[in-house]
Amino acid sequence: MTITAEGLPDGLSIDPDTGNISGTVAQAGESTAKFTASNASGKDTVAIRIVIGSTICLTPPLGWNSWNCFHKSIDDGKIRGAADEMAATGLIDHGWTYINMDDRWEGERDAQGNVQSSEQFPDMKALADYVHGKGLKIGIYSSPGPTTCGGAVGSYLHEDQDASTYAGWGMDYLKYDWCSYQAIAEMERAEKYGAILPPDQAQEFATLAGEISVLQQLQYGHDPSTLPQTDAIKKAEDESAAFTRDQIQDRLKEVLNQAAALEAGVKKTEPDKVKAIEIEICSAPFAKMRASLDKVNRDIVFSFSQYGGLFDIWQWGAEAGGNTWRTTGDITADWKSVEGHGFGQNGHEPYAGPGHWNDPDMLEVGNGGLTPDETYTHMTLWCMLSAPLLIGCDMTQMSPFIVSVFSNDEVLAIDQDALGKQGWRAKMNGQGEVWIKPLEDGSLAVAFFNRGDVAANVAVQWSELKLAGPQTVRDLWRQKDLGIQASGYSLEVAPHGAELFKIAPSQ
């Protein structure tokens, strides 16, 4: 196969053997390039819009992340293997792009404070070059706190250094996980709440916040000595040194309740100030790393990962510099988790758009625990949500069915639609739901869901979707035209199942 391009912006070039486009463009703007692929069997040509500017991640990321299947047991070979599988299975040809390593790639810092990779990752630059050589991009992981969730070194006080290191290695994506920053946040809360609490309560709150910070570090097996050594922290370290794990949990619950009691009064009298304080604390570490990423000469997608959408992150994530932000806790490979994570996104749609996406967490497709119908629902719902699609299974173990789920271009096109509108619930009747998502070409993606345990009929009238006249209906999972439907559409949907359609006015 030979691939050529006409009309590429100055500074970009294409490899005719792989089709990989690379380079740097100095001039912002939008253009259209014509690409032609040809071999002995013939040729095909397509026009592709290229947008150059400061906003990246114009459609939700498609890729793979190591955590759901490998957790902390990752190494250079598994990341290379994931890239190999993305290419060998053909998923790369359907737009899957990122190969993202999660926690525990980290080693220690050198004498200058530069983060080093662990023995399991002997040469990060070589690893990135290998992934790029496949026509893919590569992502990395860190935390704004002193340590990551897995207890490795975080980016706290080293943001500029780490951003420069990631860019030097050739990273294209950064997942930034709240983790131990909660302990730092407690200390900041003590200072900021202290300004609006009575003096005696302010002192008590500062003492409690120091103890909470230490206990939270101990709760997750992290070293509290990595925290700034304030008087409150030192005192709490001494007092908790001999605690058992159960005593840590019990004491943490006790001091959290004591702090909440102090907060209750000021939350009642100064709710706006309290909300502003919490958003400032939650957004600050992400904004700080955003500023560091902006200093390096590389486009790096910035993904916020924190506990279940701290203080309505969808309302401030874009302002803090995020390209994606977690709106939920961690997902698991079971129906209850997938259902709760996905359907709970309704109402967040005003805050998503090109460059900025709500993230209900990674895909559990292929990890077991879901029926085929639940698998279709998982994928359908995430596409309707314009969510990042990050495969979370071991790609060497994918069945032909799972590969087919990830390879349906018409379904993926709903997630990747350039208009960037997140879908929402348009109708609910018992366990049946109808969701809609406007598309760039003026058509409408419509999904039928059955959240019940038995098959159910799901129906919609075009008037309920503010559509007038007969509409053409295409079944996207089956890639089959269903003809012109005069006033609406209905069908039986399997338990925990989904159907996905593209609706457009008939000619």
Catalytic residues: 177, 330
Pick from 225, 229, 224, 199: which is nearest to 212 by CA?
A: 224
Q: Is the dihedral of CA 172, 178, 184, 189 positive or negative?
A: positive
Compute the distance between CA of residue 207 and CA of residue 226 in angstroms, rounded to an integer. Answer: 18
The counts of H helices and E strands in the chain are 13, 23
CB 6 within 8 A of CB 33: yes
Which residues lie below 8 Å from residue 362, measured CB to CB, with a gap of 6+?
65, 67, 68, 331, 388, 390, 391, 392
CB 49 within 8 A of CB 90: no
3-class SS letters over 61-81: CEEEECHHHHCCCCCHHHHHH
Please give the span between the terminal C-alpha atoms of the chain, in angstroms, as a whole number: 37
Give the max Cα distance, the chain: 82
Residue-by-residue DSSP string for 76-106: HHHHHHHHHHHHHTSGGGGT--EEE--SS-E
